[in-house]
Structure 1
């Protein structure tokens, strides 16, 4: 019968936290966030059905069980680390883990990432995806880009940029409904719904006393929302940098000059509050802010 062993990454987190008596310092050594390290410790304690640390504010001390278990863990880790690996090349690669929403990654981040790589070829970037408004806990990444209201307690939050939202539709769909000449004519259209792009703030700017749509197709991904518009499912709200290629090719058309200058949701750069950041993480954060804050000065087409 196979014996279920504790995860190795949880054991290394336990050993480092015990050595420093600090989750924050241990996390820095392991190049993960303090919350990620705390999660690994919880996994280990759940596996063992025992507490290994007593948490007292920001300091941690080993329990009696934890002290005995630490000797076993250190011996096991030492055995693994001392085993000779003749083909392994030791590398000291600087690395930044960044988590981004899918649409931001596709339309905005990846087209610009080559610029960072050219400026900092010695820093390796690892990209992970998460779903806006759903995956709300900070992952093991160093940095996250979040699309939302920017209210993230206990995290350092920096707004990347604000971009107006406006209504778009496909030419094919517009042929199937009465002429849309003014915002009020949207009463004849199917309005695509999204928690990421609510209609109510845009209605107010347009001077419409319309309620938020309560039925019809709902899509909580900005890229899929735009694809739904392109394929004729209805009228949706979007942003210039997402839609500019489809507008240029005529796959979708912008309706009206009306736009919401400051939508309720925007892109924010988020990371754990730490006394110091690793140099490569700080370099990446500065590049992100410099790159994307330039966009606010760019005129909308």
Structure 2
């Protein structure tokens, strides 16, 4: 006889663990954060173990709960798929494809193009899981992952594209410095992005490396506002705060619509992206269709380079 487990509490745990946020889990489950917290407490009492570590208003998985997250996610997916078959034949059901991508990549590059994929293959239900850090990405359960590093896990790695790193600012800021790249690089306020905490291996230069490459010396090179995510740094650049050493993949749409302009030359080295999938995952039609689509999307993107 099966032990009666609190299924709603398990769903709440899986959602909180996947999002690393009670609020986001509550939004997904269409309940209040208080209700989610109650379900987590119920499950911890049921298991007589702590599932999350709570530090400085943030939550982290314990090592034990992290080790079981993938299996629980797969089990919930299997339950959902099985229940859906009760309403019709398997042939009438949509395929489900889970894709993992960084929050900045998903927001600034993938999202503006995603409608074309959804419209071209309406029989596929796409689940997009975003992450901020490498550690978070490698604990998620996804069919495909778009990453700027090569994982040491047992994943198939396919080169996808390269992006450039280029100084960008608003047209107004460029005009204030006479639209002169040398004056902009020497005098405009600098916007910084701190990436060390993310655990990425991408070859992203900072302002010190960039200015040294082009022989420009600034005693205040470390001054200026700093952001821990590319997205907020881009918003600062769009607001005219300063000059951003931006990633072409993320700023392309803002250059195209005139909100930002390329203020000087690109950094000479490019940063690679890869399409990752587990060797243990069945390579199904949905995965192949998404792979074909994103390769085509890369080839038509003006400011990235296909591999």
- TM class, shorter-chain normalised? 0.5 to 0.7
Give the TM-score, by structure 1 length. Answer: 0.59
The partner residue of 2:263 within 251, 255, 263 is: 255
Which residue of 1 is the match for residue 234 of structure 2?
Answer: 226
Cα distance 1:47–1:183, how it changes in 2: closer, same or farther (>3 A)? Answer: farther
1:129 matched residue in structure 2: 130
Say which SS state the counterpart of residue 301 (structure 2) adopts: helix
Give CA deviations for 1:123-177 in whole Å, capped at 9, x if unaligned.
Answer: 221112211456242412211222x3x231123232321122211122444577x
How many residues get paired? 228
In angstroms, what is the RMSD of aligned CA positions? 4.2
> Would the alpha carbon gap of residues 228 and 185 (structure 1) be closer, same or farther in structure 2, given more than 3 Å must change?
closer
Shift of residue 119, structure 1, vs aligned partner = 3.6
Q: 1:216 deviation in Å?
A: 2.9
Asked whether the equivalents of residues 97 and 143 of structure 1 are also in contact (C-alpha less than 8 Å), the reply is yes
Given that residues 100 and 137 in structure 2 are in contact (C-alpha distance below 8 angstroms), is that contact kept between their aligned partners in structure 1? no
Residue number in structure 1 paired with 2:95: 94
Distance change in 2, residues 1:287/1:272 (3 Å)? same
| Separation in structure 2 between the aligned mates of residue 202 and residue 175 of structure 1, nearest angstrom | 22
Tell me the alpha carbon deviations over residues 219-261 of structure 1, each in whole angstroms, 9 at most, x when there is no partner.
Answer: 23333222101212211022445434433554333212x1124
- SS of 1:110 mapped into structure 2: helix
How many angstroms does 1:96 deviate by? Answer: 0.3
1:271/1:233 Cα in 2 relative to 1: closer, same or farther (>3 Å)? same
Q: CA deviation at 1:103?
A: 2.8
Structure 1 residues without counterparts, runs of 5 or longer? 12-42, 50-79
The TM-score with structure 2 as length reference comes to 0.58
Pairs within 5 Å for 1:73-152: 88-89=87-88, 91=90, 92-133=93-134, 135-146=136-147, 148=148, 150-152=149-151
Do the aligned partners of 1:161 and 1:296 also contact (CA within 8 Å) in 2? no
Unmatched 5+ stretches in structure 2: 12-42, 50-78, 196-203
Contact 1:98/1:142 (<8 A) preserved: yes
Max radius of gyration: which structure? 1
Q: Name 1:159's counterpart in structure 2.
A: 159
Q: What's the offset of the Cα at 1:296?
A: 6.8
**How far, CA to CA, are the matches of 1:249 and 1:195 in structure 2?**
27
